[in-house]
Chain A
Amino acid sequence: MKQFIQCIAENNQHQSTHLLKMLREIQDRYHYIPKDAIEQLSELLNIPRTQIISVVEFYSFFHLSPRGKYELLISDSITDHMLGKKNLLDYLAKILSVTVGEVREDGLVSLGNASCTGMCDQGPAGLVNGYALTRLDQPACDQIAALINQQKPLVEWPSELFQVDDNIYKSGLLLNQPYVQGAALRAMIDRGIKATLAEVDGSGLRGRGGAGFKTATKWKFCSEEPQTERYVVCNADEGEPGTFKDRVLLNSYTDQVFEGMAVCAAIIGARQGFLYLRGEYLHLHDKLERILEQRRQNGLLGTNIMGVGLDFDIEICLGAGAYICGEESALIESLEGKAGIPRNRPPYPVTQGYLGKPTVVNNVETFLAATGIAVNGGDWFASIGTEKSKGTKILSISGDCARPGIYEYPFGITVQTILNDCGAVDVLGIQVGGPSGTFISNQEFERKLAFEDLATGGSFIIFNSSRDILDMVNNFTHFFAHESCGFCTPCRVGTALLKKQLAKIVDGHGSAGDVVALEELCQLVKNHSHCGLGQTAANPILTTLERYPDLYHSRLKEISFEPGFDLDGALATARRLANRDDAGAHLAQTESEHE
């Protein structure tokens, strides 16, 4: 092992910014991060041991104790649940003789849950040693169990298990745009860099991650910073449950995304770019590297791009299972090899980003749009959409509809039109923009997708009338509690309390004051959390409570209070140890029952 670690450190020039990459290699080889490896790395990289441990503990794909040689994770997204995830997980646990969350005694296999793996249109999905599995069903599980028990290496597994489809059902301005490699860079060089920024400005393009900051403004701010070492980062940490468009864009529109980054780099004056790829999309990694290499060979990356003296290259960095790294400052921390804890803002990344240098972080779709705008000009883009939301939005549609997949629409489209297109009937409501977004009821289908009305990063999960809204709320609330980075108390403790208080009501232990208490807790978490995660973690509860108060109240008991846990059950251990079963050794669940 000593030699292996030494080798890894050397390959990464002893740079602690590459810590995640090194830990990935160690985790791959040993199925955990051994203590000795941490000691050795700490010396080789000259960083404290505790810093490495904090990183290992932060990311859900790293472990301090051994996982199975085959680590099987099943996606816990609500969309996977709607496709029968729970039964499947139980079935896998049974046929593999392994407890969920644990490693089988022989160390061959471990089974667990993963937050949404971005395969919502082809679930139930999972990951085996980091590689995406799709459309799991019982026969596929049988097959997987057999392959694991035979200890077949992953490369020998049938490729159908790993087949990931694009499922593009409706393409518009961006997805229909014909593309010639280098066309955007050529157009930019011909037009001039300043003029190209003006086109991006004129296009009205706003960030596609969801927040909607104006792209040209961000680029301009960054280019005006006095520091000359600047960076471009493509945020492909698509973790919002129900979102998977970036996976498709990176798979089939790769060149356009990279070229958008190069255009941005030329405008802001950056020589280095990063693609931060979520760990769940490991299956795309080699393809992306190949395309980067091809672009280098074609003179579109590297030194002296297109012979005009532009230098720019892109490095791919893989995440390790942390939703919070989609937040741009957390993403930058992660790029620097640290735990993904959001920074205080300001200073914003455009002034102090990667390694404290000015950095532009944009979504995959934003760079794709930038490529189109560089080729066709700002008017081409601005002619479509609404006043404040120009162009189109690429949606990831999943849940109860006939054709889940990718749809591109001009901004301003009504929800009803989308439902008609994807074949959704008997719809109860839709989660727009993922768990951190808004739940809309079937009274609101004339609303429009646009920053003016329903803003969205692209997630669109449809629920039909057979679904229980509180199941969904419960799933989302667990998701946030799991993904809280733990830095600030309102979010770390608050999301756990939300989970508990919601469970109390959902499980039927709630009484008069419990919904009010839940709402107060929501406001506290929302108003006092450090970053967007905590500020939106209560949205699933708040948006459904606003629309369906009766749903919550109907679960309440007609008494003033009941404990949210089994009071008598809490005495069971003591009864057994004291060998008692008299009346005094029992407690009634409520006072009235007691009297």
Chain B
Amino acid sequence: MKHLPRTCALTAAAVTMLSLAACSTTDPNASGEGGGGEGDVTTGSGVTDSEITVGMLTDLSGPFAAGAAVQVTQTNAYWDQVNADGGVCDRDVVVDVQDHGYDPQRAVTLYRSMAPDVIALQQVLGGPTSAAVLPLAEQDDVYVGGVGWTGSALQYENNQLPGASYAIEAANAVDYLVDELGVPEGGRIGVVYFAGDYGGDALAGAEHAAEERGVEIVAQEITSQTTDLSAQASALVQADVAGVVLAAAPTQLASLAGVLATQGADVPIVGMNPTFNPSLLGSPVADALVANAYSITSVAPYASDAPGVQAANELYASVAPDGDVGWEVPLAYVQGELLRQALEGACEAGELTPEGVVAALQESSSVDTDGLLPDGLDYSQPGQSPTTTVYVSKVGAAAEAGLALLEEFSGPSAESFSYGG
């Protein structure tokens, strides 16, 4: 009896999850017709004389549903705006949004059914889901964007990272702690990170930077279930760290900042892209966050005054006046922008096909996005981060979406970091 229930339970979990994750929205206008062509442009999957269909595999029913919904809204608004301005290659762009529910198997199934009808995938949201789809899409020579910032995704030449990878973010975090936040040479920096490719990538960057800058890393591995970081914080205080790099989620940032504050450790905490959420400013540890929390992001924060970010924010406000604001708003916009540039590159080369889009991506060595991402993104070096520049922000109660942009930053260790090097 002791083993049976658990075996049954696991089977049941799998079956139930598969059967529940069944909500999807297919654009009725999406067309499977390929071939043909207009003028001297060769066309392929997902392209008709009047429309280009791009895919989006996202999580509308799983753990990231709320942020994903913001991105879907913004993505649709972005392409509506592009279409109103004349479209791409004289065609309207339509988005086929499908919900994988954060289930890799379902993501693969959806990819298989979607691939013949789309020219590119603007986004495959989620680490495990994108890890399942990327190799298939690479075999099919299909562009994939918006898979997050893990270094492991860089090995796929069909993938377009929206800005610096996590290793670059973390190397910059160490550089920033040393250069601007007073960590002395020979001092210690705590790195608290999620087990897995996100945290592992960040740790690799931080370790590289620590070696370059002559500081010592005190690493603490956690999982997303670790919501009370008392033990970790006590260990960091005991090790007398002068700063902390955090590659986790908002819950962990708040817990760590709160406990460090109560233990009298007044040290800066620099979080990676997904570690901050404006709702933390309503929690009891808001003061500790405002005092010591920084955020390093690959995409410009919501509060940036760059023209691209302003355009993204205004567009979102026009379609979702009461919607949640946060880093998803500029992110979704810039993912659309990156794909639009790749589609236009393919159109100019006369190859409006999945392969043509990937080729256009690989030839782009200096992509600008009006300040949404650092200028001069280089996608012609497969396996390496397209930039070493990140955005450093300070958590602030008065800032829009809780993050006030301090500066664009590219530290020496981030510049000397290379994957596989």
A, B: real partners: no
Chain B residues engaging chain A, CB cutoff 8 angstroms: none
